[in-house]
Amino acid sequence: MKTLLLVDVQNDFIPGGSLPVPDGDRIIRPINRLQERFALIVATQDWHPRDHVSFASNHEGKKPFDVIDLDGVEQILWPDHCVQETEGARFHPELETKRIEAIFRKGVDREIDSYSGFYDNGHLRSTGLAGYLKEKNATDLFFGGLAADICVYFTIKDALEEGFKVTVLEDAVQALDETIYANIVRELTEKGVRFAKSDDL
């Protein structure tokens, strides 16, 4: 079954939020237009406790985008974002959510970051997304969301590891860094990921 997977379409990642993706709001209209073409739609949601280890504000003397060593893993320190129960963590108000069947929250453990919608960055804890999709007989995942070069990318990598076919909807994703994303597109294309415009479906 073809499934639309929406990654972190949240206020803090939209222009005006605390960690905005440039032009991130341009993906809303294509995503809304696409939804009627899918029998199953699921979403991920960044959902951090206020004292999350990835926030620069929780490390004395550090500022956003500094890089630290966290238990042997390189950790980018981010501005506070998508804090549980805040407006920044909510889905963008123009995103149609009535047809989203399930929401999988990530980044809930204060001790480790979680870019992928499937696992935390150490692959220590599953969100349950893979099992849910397999129980629903989802085989082909179509991706929209933010940011294309971070959370969308890492969710795609795990989706491939879990055996799903992946299509990235180019007008339904937006990158924080377009140069990094261009390299990611080449990498994922070599791994068999398809890139398509929503009008091609």
Q: Which of 46, 151, 157, 158 is catalytic?
A: 151
Q: Is 191 a catalytic residue?
A: no
Nearest CA to 104 out of 92, 122, 116 is that of 116
Q: Is 8 a catalytic residue?
A: yes
Phi and psi dihedrals of 7, rounded to 5?
-105, 115
Which residue is it, tokens 């920044």? 88
Q: Which of 12, 46, 106, 171 is catalytic?
A: 106
Alpha carbon 159 to its chain's center: 12
Phi and psi dihedrals of 71, rounded to 5?
55, 40
Q: How wide is the angle at C-alpha 197 spanned by C-alphas 6 and 157, nearest 5°?
A: 45
Q: Is 98 a catalytic residue?
A: no
Question: What are the catalytic residues?
Answer: 8, 106, 151
